[in-house]
Structure 1
Amino acid sequence: MSYESAAGGRPETASRLGHTNAIVRALADEARFYVPAEHVRDIAWLQPKIRHRSELVRPDDPRLTGVIGVDGSLMVVPVRDGLPSVRYGYAQAAAIWLDIEAMQAQRQERFVDPVALHEAVKSSLISMDMPVAGAYLREGMSIQESWRECVDQLFREKKVEVNRLDQSLLQLLMLLHGRPGEPAITIPVDCPRQECRRADVAVPQAGRICPGCGHLLWPTDCLRIYEEVMEDGENSGALGRLMQVVELLVLVGLSTLLWQQSRTELFASTLFIVDGPMAVYGPPAKLRARALTYFQHMTSTAGPFICGVEKSGTAVDYARTLVRHEVLKPGDLLVVDADVLAKMTNAGNPLAYGSETYWGRKFFYRSLDGRVVVITVLPASGAPYDDRGGQPDPAAYPSLTAVLDVVDRTGSSMYRDGLIPVALAHSKAAYPIGVGTDVLRLVAKQKLGLRDGSDDGSAPR
């Protein structure tokens, strides 16, 4: 560079990463690869798969008046000066309740009343923290064992507390393995020890000794998150798996509360929105079948009205490309069947898409104001995806029209193709940038017993 550095008076060198993005983009422009969203040519085959919203409406479709949005956030920070491998993790999930009628009433006013808007939104937050890499609960235990014990402790201590709901994450996990209002007594767990691997051990809430090896098992072992934990690495992926489970349990708790306390009123007039698809990925994916069965047990009454909303990813990119090609007009819904999935994912066997992870079916919708929304919706019965292609027909999703109505009524300009409930839940769950990271690092140092400002390499106190 043309100026000299303070150290040694030598010319300043460019940052190693300063031009990384430009270089990688230049390399990508020269490389040859296939992107499905860039190859939308013949669109005539899509026309029979499009349904206008007016075609789906039935006389008994309810008009929902409230929305509960659920979103999560996580952060992993280095907390030991001189030892960058020591990392502490934070995860939290937020739930907001939005009064749609109060919000719409303010839209009609010349001047918005901030008090009225504040009263239209209520929120709740559950957060957790734990050492995720380079630090352990006790001396002499592996990082996997440390994670197992941390997750068990967190699930016993952390509670979802909203109005009459006051249940720990562990109680909600037992509930998810049972039926609405009837939590399971035991949870099937596979022993994590390599030399044992005893399968389907019935573990009660208090835990039990494995009959095969005498190893202590906890009900949270059913999540198998420890399988993604590594000695070397920050383990943010494993923390993300934990966060998605917490989001699901928050949804279970709130929906069950309304189902038990106000089944024909609040439950029948509230939409539950999950940020992201209705899916469970990675080792906890077995919860997909539990979630599907659990919520379908609620369908004897009106509802449940549940949907997932994706803000990014392959499906969102493909849906936006279709809109740019004028495939979808305002009010149009695209049935994402095996043909669409084959094009979108470039898959040779699209029939099995989502069969192991999704508990809702994906649809592309262009709202009346032109927004592009990728949603997943719960079927009334059966699986949304299976090895035979699942249920792509909108008729299998009786809550679909009510969901689309809320999408049309709660558009947000906070981000591209946004929804107000999702944006509000995200704002409650997101960690602040900059100062927020510093605060989390200081708290982690206190939790781990690390001396602030020490870089002498000594062990934690």
Structure 2
Amino acid sequence: MPYETSGGDQHELASRLGHTHAIVRALAEEARFYVPAEHVRDIAWLQPKIRHRSELASAELAGAEEHRLTGVIGVDGSLMVVPVRDGLPSVRYGYAQAAAIWLDLELMQAQRRERFVDPVALHEAVKSNLISMDMPVAGAYLREGMSIEDSWRESVDRLFREKKIEVNRLDQSLLELLMLLHGRPGAPAHTVSVDCPRQSCRWKDVAVPEAGRPCPRCGSALYPTDCLRIYEEVVEDGENSTALGRLMQVVELLVLVGLSTLLWRLSRTELFTSTLFVIDGPMAVYGPPAKLRGRALTYFQSMEPGPFVCGVEKTGTAVDYARSLVRHEVLKPGDLLLVDDEVIAKMTNADNPLAYGSETYWGRKFFYRSLDGRVVVITVLPGSGAPYDDHGGQVDPAAYPSLPAILDVVDRTGSSMYRDGLIPVALAHSKAAYPIGVGTDVLRLVAKQKLGLRDTPDDGPSGR
């Protein structure tokens, strides 16, 4: 390269891997493979699957401004796995966090109508909090003489007992939220079903209480968090970032459970029914914890009235395919595409599209082009029943009563921070992506500001 080194005696040498990206792209250009998003040809078959948002508006929402959602709670997570011992690159330590933000839509809309934006007012429109956790993930163990699987099992159990979500006198650990998810709103389960992880035992469906218990066959310690089965993806050689990602997605779901249940209990007919809960990514649970999908579906559907909750995907196959459809003018502003088995077959190149999502998704996927032209892939909770099953699931928008209000929020919260971005997702992502410390809990902020709760003298300086 034409740059001299600091010593001036030789030229800068290119990194050995500096051109790897360009080389791989060049190889890909020569290779033959099929990308569904690049083969959108005949689009006539898609037209019957398109609905305009005006066709979906219910009688209650049409022309009734007071029924529009006034707040959004967004949840997102991030993780990092790093080497922590010089000379021992196999030793890895993991850090995961989940952020929650509260966005006051009315205050944000008021600022959009102003000639000059008040930064203080915008700051007051957004409140946030972060829950973080850290643990040794590879090449390091809690104690001498234990396997990496047992080290993970004990670490996860400890973290779930220690990490808490607090609002005034409401105090819930991640473990308590896990038991709540296995029960119903306001009534947590007393036990969870756990399979013994010992290879020599494998006793099935042991009822494990919150305190844990010995296996009735082999006597080894069983933790309630073993029901997540995250330890099954842990390996001796590797950084175990996949297993940490599974843990993070569970924490995101539990944060959503805690936030929604709080509002459901304290302001069921007011704040709860005017708030949209948004998670970054699809409403799905992947890997060994995937059984939580059914728990999440049952839990949120048992809330009366039903919650407004959706997932928003920023990347992935579905996003690429949706953007390709827009480039071919399949979707006009305000159009919603029903993603049925035909669309799934084209999008995923699958030979059995009817089974798509039946084991992982607790919300149904839709493609929407907002009124300002953004392309948004959302997943939405059905009012009853499963969004996907072995017969294709529920495709009709009528099965998703929260859909009109969700599309209204999508239209009102466009963000220029990211391509096709939404402000709540962008804010939650920014809080989760950059550690800001454990600040004032978003639950406590929402309760104080919206429900009129105040710190009591014996709560202490933190209001706990």
Please name the residue that 1:383 is paired with: 386
Q: Distance in 2 between matches of 1:91 and 1:422?
A: 18
Q: Distance in 2 between matches of 1:29 and 1:39?
A: 16
* Displacement of 1:111: 1.2
Q: Where does residue 370 of structure 2 map in the other structure?
A: 367
Question: Does 2:174 correspond to 1:160?
Answer: no
SS at match of 1:203: strand
1:354 counterpart residue number = 357
TM superposition score normalised by structure 2: 0.91
- Equivalence for 1:313: 316
Runs of 5+ unmatched residues, structure 1:
437-461
Partner of 1:256: 261
Indicate conservation of the 8 Å contact 1:165/1:254, yes or no: no
Per-residue deviation, 1:12: 5.9
1:226 counterpart SS class: helix
Give runs of aligned pairs for residues 247-286 of structure 1, distance below 5 A: 247-286=252-291
- Displacement of 1:118: 1.4
Asked if structure 2 preserves the Cα contact closer than 8 Å seen for 1:165 and 1:253, the reply is no
Structure 1 residue 351 displacement after superposition: 0.2
The CA deviation string for residues 284-307 of structure 1, in whole angstroms up to 9 with x for no partner, is 000000000000001x32x30000
Residues 289-308 of structure 1 correspond to what in structure 2 (within 5 A)? 289-298=294-303, 300-301=304-305, 303-308=306-311
Q: CA deviation at 1:10?
A: 7.8
2:423 corresponding residue in structure 1: 420
**Structure 1 Cα separation of the partners of residues 314 and 396 of structure 2:** 23
- Of residues 57, 68, 71, the one that matches 2:76 is 71
Cα offsets for 1:108-130 (capped at 9, x unmatched): 11111112111111112111000
Q: CA deviation at 1:11?
A: 7.2
Kept after mapping to 2: 8 A contact 1:75/1:431: no
Q: 2:220 aligns with which of 211, 215, 218?
A: 215
Q: Which residue of 2 aligns with 1:15?
A: 15
1:23-42 paired onto structure 2 within 5 Å: 23-42=23-42
Query: Which residue does 1:179 correspond to in 2?
Result: 184
The residue identity in structure 2 corresponding to 1:226 is Y
Q: Deviations over 1:205-228 (max 9, x none)?
A: 000011121111000000000011
Report if the CA contact (8 A) 1:71-1:94 is conserved.
yes
Kept in 2: contact 1:170–1:205 (CA 8 A): yes
- For 1:120 and 1:141, locate their aligned partners in 2 and report how far apart those are by CA, in whole Å: 48
SS in 2 for 1:130: strand
Match of 2:205 among 196, 200, 205: 200
1:92 matched to 2:97? The reply is yes
Q: Distance in 1 between the 2:176 and 2:252 partners?
A: 14
- 1:240 pairs with one of 226, 240, 245: 245
What displacement does 1:14 show? 3.3
Aligned partner letter, 2:388: Y
Match of 1:188 in 2: 193
* Secondary structure in structure 2 of the residue aligned to 1:22: helix
Alpha-carbon distance change, 11 to 408 in structure 1, aligned in 2, over 3 angstroms: closer
Amino acid at match of 1:397: Y
Give the RMSD, CA atoms, in angstroms: 1.7
| CA deviation profile, 1:226-281 (whole Å, cap 9, x unmatched) | 01111111111110000000000000000000000000000010000000000000
Aligned to 2:57: 57
Question: 1:156 deviation in Å?
Answer: 0.2
Q: CA deviation at 1:431?
A: 3.0
Secondary structure at the residue paired with 2:58?
Answer: coil
Structure 2: how far apart are the matches of 1:308 and 1:166?
A: 26
Shift of 1:151: 0.2
Could you say what secondary structure the match of 1:344 adopts?
helix
- 8 Å Cα contact 1:411/1:418 also seen in 2: yes
Are 1:274 and 1:307, in contact at CA under 8 Å, matched by a contact in 2?
yes
**What amino acid is the match of 1:357?**
T
Counterparts of 2:363 and 2:38 in 1: how far apart (Å)? 27
- Offset of residue 165 of structure 1: 3.8
Instruction: Provide the rounded CA distance (Å) in 1 between the counterparts of 2:419 and 2:292.
Output: 31
Q: Distance in 1 between matches of 2:121 and 2:277?
A: 22
Q: Distance in 1 between matches of 2:39 and 2:404?
A: 31
* Structure 1 counterpart of 2:233: 228
Partner of 2:440: none
CA shift digits 1:374-396 (9 cap, x unpaired): 00000011100000000011110
The answer as to 2:175 corresponding to 1:170 is yes
In the alignment, the residues of structure 2 paired with residue 432 and residue 256 of structure 1 have an alpha-carbon distance, to the nearest angstrom, of 26
Q: 1:105 to 1:283 in 2, by over 3 A?
A: same
Please state how far the C-alpha of 1:5 moved relative to its aligned partner: 7.1
Between the aligned partners of 1:297 and 1:10, the Cα distance in structure 2 is: 71
Which residue of structure 2 aligns with residue 406 of structure 1? 409
Please show how residues 423-442 of structure 1 align to structure 2 within 5 Å: 423-431=426-434
Tell me whether 1:122 sits opposite 2:149 in the alignment. no
Cα deviation digits, residues 58-96 of structure 1 (max 9, x gap): 111331000000000111111111111111110010111
The answer to which of 171-180 and 209-218 deviates more is 209-218
Q: CA deviation at 1:334?
A: 0.1
SS in 1 for 2:134: strand
2:445 match: none
Counterpart CA distance in 2 for 1:406 and 1:47 is: 25
Q: Which runs of 5+ in 2 are unaligned?
A: 62-66, 438-464
* 2:144 is the counterpart of 1:135: no
Give the counterpart letter for 2:377 in structure 1. Answer: V
Q: Secondary structure at the match of 1:287?
A: helix
Separation in structure 1 between the aligned mates of residue 50 and residue 165 of structure 2, nearest angstrom: 40
Change (3 A) 1:23 1:269: same
State the SS of the aligned residue for 1:96: strand
Deviation at residue 161 of structure 1 after TM alignment: 2.3
**Residues 377, 400 of structure 1: 8 Å contact kept:** yes
Q: Give, in whole Å, the separation in 2 of the partners of 1:273 and 1:432.
A: 20
Task: State how far apart, in whole Å, the 2-side matches of 1:60 and 1:2 are.
Answer: 68
Q: Distance in 2 between matches of 1:240 and 1:232?
A: 17
Residue 460 of structure 2 corresponds to: none
Distance 1:372 1:26 in 2: 29
Which residue does the alignment assign to 1:449? none
Task: Calculate the TM-score normalised by the size of structure 1.
Answer: 0.91
Q: 1:165 to 1:93 in 2, by over 3 A?
A: farther
